[in-house]
Structure 1
Amino acid sequence: MKYPEQNNRSHLIGILLAAVAFSFWGCSKEDLESSVPGYLYIDTIHLTTDEISQGNNRAAFTDAWVFVDNEPLGVFPLPATVPVLDAATHKISIRAGIVENGIDALRSAYPKLVPFDTTISLLPNRTSAFQPRVRYLNSAQFVQLENFDGGSVSLESIQTNGAPIRISIAGDPNVLDGAAGVVDLDATQPSFQLATSDTFLLPTSVSSYIEMNYRCDVEFTVGVIVSSTGGTVSFNSLVTLRPTTTWKKVYVNVADLGGVQTDATGYKLWLSGTKPSSVSQASLYFDNIKVLY
């Protein structure tokens, strides 16, 4: 025997099943396939540069900022499999994402790069793999480049009795590629302060970045020395980077950290650090330094 509640429930379920069946019966095969997503697989994003005017192409892109038909789809950590709900032909735009200022939670689409644009036909339940290539904006201006491969160094010690910077010796297993700049700290010279020998200008109207590869036994600080109207000079610390046994790359947003001033007449890149007393010796390696806006 069925109770009234059961009869009502069975009747309702029957109506729902009929409605679902009718909706599918009324759909074409093309309609059903269009509701199945296609997928993009992005393993990494490559940087293309003119090495003479823009430095080398080493980058540390962490995320893909994906746009489909000019609409934002999301931010996807690399490598990424990206679902696109309508498996059809779409305009895909990829922006290379970075970690800013060495803070993992602070991520952005690097504004100094041209997005990668393409048109791709996606198939239902199929994955299309590609590796986007990006380049610097034509308007990007590089005011400092240093890869330590030319036999001279654009950084100089500005600290009395501070440790100097040297070019790595041939065969040094710690270098990244080519040569690197090295600072050695010990009991005699436990600290260092370096600055670029030439000054440069940074505008207030667009963002400025410092890019750098580094490997270090002790922490160090990246900053700028600012000369202002009236002859004042200020030392502005921007970020302090922790020791690392592997090479890393940092993107320092100079303006966001207060490094750009409206009354500035010139800037210099500034690197500094001190060996802890608990450490007898330490070395810091630098490479592929860029300052651009």
Structure 2
Amino acid sequence: MIHLKRKYLFLVFCLPFLFNRCGLGEPQIPSYIYIDTFSLSCDLSSQGFNSQKITDGWVYVNNKTIGVFQLPALVPVLDTGNLEIIISPGIKDNGIQVFGKVYPFYTSHKTTMHLSAEQTDTIYPATTYYSTGLTYIIDRFETGNIFSPAVNSDTSFVELTDPAEVFEGSRSMQATLEGNNYFFRAGTFDLILPDDGSNVYLEMDYKNDTQFEVWVTGNLLGSQYPEYVITLTPKDTWNKIYVNIGNIIRLIQTETYSIELRMARPASAISATLSIDNVKIISEN
């Protein structure tokens, strides 16, 4: 049996629409759309691997907001006939459950369907990155590494080549703290990023047994201005994260910026490990 899954809705119609009256007249009988999970298509060379963590669908029918649904979902629609249906891909900003939003770099799925009362039609939504207006800094770690260790870091990223451990492709990166090594810090080369409040995101796949932090450091006239962004908790399997850094960059307002990853091994832990892959820094241009 297909169950309706709704974590939250932005708009609630006269919700006794199945059995109660919304004003005068007979109750309306809805049609249904079963919306499967999103698929993402990428150009490997310019956009990296097609990993994604689209959790929600923001659903619109004939320009009316139906709601936000955790996918897959069974969505009731009061309208029938030929209808334009738009499903925008929603993510969890910074991986936080309550911060759901339409991801600004993914296209919406648009289709026209004929809906009939009491019938269920299925949509398999698909998305891509917008073809224009975006700047990408991509590292799949197949031939290099954009992260360099800080001078006070006890270790650095090394290539991870075990096929059982690599996320995709032939290489991932891994940092390990053990023995007398307790602190890891690595940053990207200096990046020129928009500081006018435009959308800027760090996308990354990661796996870790110890929490680590994401920082943005602004660089201006030889001085550094680090700003904390988020702490990511341990994940024993590969996880996708969308880290919103646009507002931090707007706050710092410097010439260039570096994305930093920091991890500290607890004194009680024998080791601490962080693996990353498919790093994307995407901004509007």
Report if TM-score (shorter chain) is over 0.5.
Answer: yes
Tell me whether 1:174 sits opposite 2:165 in the alignment: yes
The whole-number CA distance in structure 2 between the counterparts of 1:43 and 1:116 is: 12
Match of 1:110 in 2: 103
Name 1:138's counterpart in structure 2.
131
Number of the residue aligned with 1:19? none
Match of 1:54 among 41, 47, 54: 47
Counterpart among 234, 237, 240 of residue 243 in structure 1: 234
Rg: which structure is higher? Answer: 1
d(CA) in 1 for partners of 2:280 and 2:41?
15
Percent of pairs with identical residues: 31
CA distance in 2, matches of 1:291, 1:140: 14
Q: Which residue type is aligned with residue 267 of structure 1?
A: Y
Aligned pairs (5 A) from 1:1-293: 35-150=28-143, 152-171=144-163, 173-178=164-169, 179-228=171-220, 230-256=221-247, 258-261=248-251, 263-293=253-283
* Amino acid in the other structure paired with 1:224: V
Q: Tell me if structure 2 keeps the 8 A contact 1:65–1:97.
A: yes
Distance 1:283 1:260 in 2: 32
Task: Return the structure number with greater helix share.
Answer: 1
- Cα deviation, 1:72-112, whole Å, max 9, x if unaligned, reads 11000011111111222110011000001121111111111
Q: Do the aligned residues in 1 keep the contact of 2:109 with 2:126 (CA within 8 Å)? A: yes
Kindly report the root-mean-square deviation, in angstroms, between the aligned alpha carbons of the 2 structures. 1.8
Change in 2 beyond 3 A, CA 1:177/1:206: same
Unaligned runs of 5+ in 1: 1-22, 25-31
Q: Give the Cα–Cα distance (whole angstroms) in 2 for the partners of residues 41 and 70 of structure 1.
A: 19
Letter paired with 1:71: K
Which amino acid in structure 2 is aligned with residue 56 of structure 1?
F
Give TM-score, length-normalised by structure 2.
0.85
Tell me the matched-pair count. Answer: 258
Query: In the aligned structure 1, how far is the partner of 2:41 from the partner of 2:185?
Result: 32
Query: What is the rounded CA distance, in whole Å, between the counterparts of 1:262 and 1:273 in structure 2?
Result: 23
Contact 2:189 2:258 in 1 (8 A): yes
- Give the TM-score normalised by the residue count of structure 1: 0.83
Moved over 6 A (4+): none
Residue 198 of structure 1, CA deviation: 4.1
- Where structure 2 has 5 or more consecutive residues not aligned to the other structure, the ranges are 1-24
The 3-state SS of whatever aligns with 2:45 is helix
